[in-house]
Structure 1
Amino acid sequence: MKKKWLIVGIIIILVIIALFVGSRFLNKTSEEELTEQKIKITPQMITSVERGDLKKTVSTSGYLQPADEKALTFSLNGEIEEVLISGGKRVTEGEALVRLEKSQQELNYLKAKNTYELIKTSGSESEINEQELNFQIAKKNLEDTTLKAPFSGLITDVYVKPGDYIGSGKEVAYIIDDSSYEIEVAVNEIDSLEIEVGQEVIIILD
């Protein structure tokens, strides 16, 4: 019986020794791993902080368009006699672009002019005023048979050719002022609070 208790006691002592040695080994391993992790920290993982201003940007998309553009039309009905432009041609303000056949307008102008000159010598004041008005209208109609550039720019489209009959107000050509452009964008209400006149704008064209 004593021998049995002796064997049990020896086993218990061995177990205690094994647990003690195992715990020391585990603690040593954990310390080595922690040391290894500390060693792996390099200067590249450290950065310096500098004081400066933060910049906030607002990104959006929009449309680029000329600062000035116009559809060109005649104020008269008539037949196209001459087209002096084509798409892509650059023109200057006041330059003749398209002409209507004007024989009728020339006749009306000469008649109105002669009548006005005669009435000025023998007519009443009201008659003179009336014929002067008729003369000015006939003169303007004759001038309007020639379509001129309202400003210097680029002709982008021409919609007529000689022989075409057009009505008053019908689009004949299209002109843009390509010397300056405007950009139209949509900005939400929150971002609009960050935008002020004079701020720098970066434009990226697709």
Structure 2
Amino acid sequence: MTHVRFSLQKKLLIFVGAPFVLLVILLILLLNGSNRETKREEMKISPSDITFPVEVAVVRKGELISWISANGYAQALREVEVKPKLSGQIAKLSVKNGVHVRMGEVLMKLDDAEYQLALEQAESRLLNARVEYTLAKAGAPGGRDVSKYNRQLDSLRATYQAAKEKLKDGMITRDEFARIKRDYESLLVYTSVNPEDVVAVKTGLSDALHEYEKAKLNLSYTELVAPFDGIIADCFVREGGYVQSGMTCMKVIDISAVRILCEITEADLLKLKVGDPAVAEFVAIPNRKFYGSVAEINPVIDSQKRTALVTVQVANSGLLIKPGMFASVRIGSEVLRNVVIVPRSAVLVRDNRPLVFTVEGGMSQWKYVQLGRSNDDYYEIQEGVVPGDTLIVGGNYNLAHQSRIRVEALRQY
């Protein structure tokens, strides 16, 4: 009885499930048929019906520069260490690192009490000396017997000339000659100076004037000023601290432009000259180029490295470049002017021949070109395109001749 019941259940399951299986098979066949139809429709699409998005540029003439690559570190255009000429305590510090200063601006002032006192004493001594000079000048004789001194001078001149000959012949000693020379030169000075100058020396006026000027100069040394417009750097002194004469207190740097010292191989050195164009890029300042030129060429070759030092100077717009930054530099060694140039991205190679695509009537045109010289950015085109042609510079890798294109962007180069 159990066996009969199980058999009936099995027949019922087969009877109910068979239509469901047939339905699934039918759906699969329908889907496969639909996919085949879709593929057939896709295969019917012609490549000429596809529109390719591209970027274009207008062919032009320009400069093609052959570049020499080098590396280096940025240096300030000008840099001066601020050092006091006197020792003393810092009474006032007016600046700190990074501050912009103007030429002549006071950076630091030393305690000047001692030097103010020295100047006052020098002024007092100068006043006394001027009084003595005025009194001495008023009481001096009316004049000197110039003819008397001139006769003596003529006699001593003859004696001096004779003594030189005698010294050559060994007839007198060097000490004897020195005495004759001293008498002659002393009288020569006396007869040639102004009598008032003699009075000034004898009364101490000349010495007093020198002391006064020295005291005034020392007082001026208590103020340290900026030698040019620039920025304060490496300032490690503090107000109230003590500094020694000649100690470096800070630096004033000018980074309106920077200089980059590059090592150039001896083979490339002969290709360069002062004034050649240069472009610098810095790791710390991505996507920016700084333009300048060769400022100096050291003609000495390092015997070990076989390189020479070439200094490139570039403008520092916005003062973004800081001394010590690492730079990649390209120096233009040769410039071809007024030649047809195109971006490197525009040139493709098919069948081992260089070609470009231009645009005519919304379609790409395959044109073989003859290349000239090149650099990292451009090719010189000697034949194939002319200035004014619309050139495809982006999206050209999958193009064929007379493909339909859509201009997405117009580039300038």
Same-fold status (TM-score > 0.5): yes
Residue of 143, 148, 160 corresponding to 2:237: 160
CA gap of 1:55–1:160, structure 2 versus 1, over 3 A, is closer
Residue of 252, 257, 260 corresponding to 1:183: 260
RMSD: 1.8
Q: Name the counterpart of 2:95.
A: 85
The structure richer in strand per residue is: 2
CA-to-aligned-CA distance 1:19-61 (integer Å, 9 cap, x gap)? xxxxxxxxxxxxxxxxxxxxxxxxxxxxxxxxxx985321111
CA-to-aligned-CA distance 1:129-169 (integer Å, 9 cap, x gap)? 11111111100111111111111100012121122111100
* Distance in 1 of aligned mates of 2:78 and 2:65: 34
- Aligned identity (percent) is 28
Q: Name the counterpart of 2:280.
A: 203
SS at match of 1:170: coil
CA-to-aligned-CA distance 1:59-109 (integer Å, 9 cap, x gap)? 111121111101101000101111110111000000011111111000000
Question: What are the residue-to-residue correspondences of 1:45-194 with 2, within 5 Å?
Answer: 56-123=66-133, 124-126=199-201, 127-194=204-271
Query: Retained in 2: the 8 A contact 1:83–1:161?
Result: yes
CA-to-aligned-CA distance 1:160-184 (integer Å, 9 cap, x gap)? 1122111100111111012222221
* Distance in 2 of aligned mates of 1:160 and 1:140: 24
SS at match of 1:168: coil
SS at match of 1:197: coil
* Distance in 2 of aligned mates of 1:186 and 1:144: 41
Question: What are the residue-to-residue correspondences of 1:2-21 with 2, within 5 Å?
Answer: none
CA gap of 1:172–1:54, structure 2 versus 1, over 3 A, is closer
SS at match of 1:108: helix
Name the amino acid aligned to 2:91.
E
* Distance in 2 of aligned mates of 1:94 and 1:55: 43
Tell me the TM-score normalized by structure 1: 0.71
CA gap of 1:59–1:112, structure 2 versus 1, over 3 A, is same
SS at match of 1:106: helix
Query: Retained in 2: the 8 A contact 1:77–1:167?
Result: yes
Tell me the TM-score normalized by structure 2: 0.36
Query: Retained in 2: the 8 A contact 1:93–1:150?
Result: yes
Q: Name the counterpart of 2:397.
A: none
CA gap of 1:198–1:162, structure 2 versus 1, over 3 A, is closer
Query: Retained in 2: the 8 A contact 1:79–1:100?
Result: yes
Once the 2 structures are TM-superposed, how far is the Cα of residue 125 of structure 1 from its aligned partner?
Answer: 1.6
Query: Retained in 2: the 8 A contact 1:159–1:171?
Result: no
Give the unaligned 5+ runs of structure 2: 1-62, 134-198, 284-413
Question: What are the residue-to-residue correspondences of 1:32-51 with 2, within 5 Å?
Answer: none
* Distance in 2 of aligned mates of 1:94 and 1:145: 14
Give the unaligned 5+ runs of structure 1: 1-52
Aligned pair count reads 155
* Distance in 2 of aligned mates of 1:170 and 1:197: 37
SS at match of 1:105: helix
* Distance in 1 of aligned mates of 2:117 and 2:235: 29
Segments of 4+ in structure 1 off by > 4 A?
none
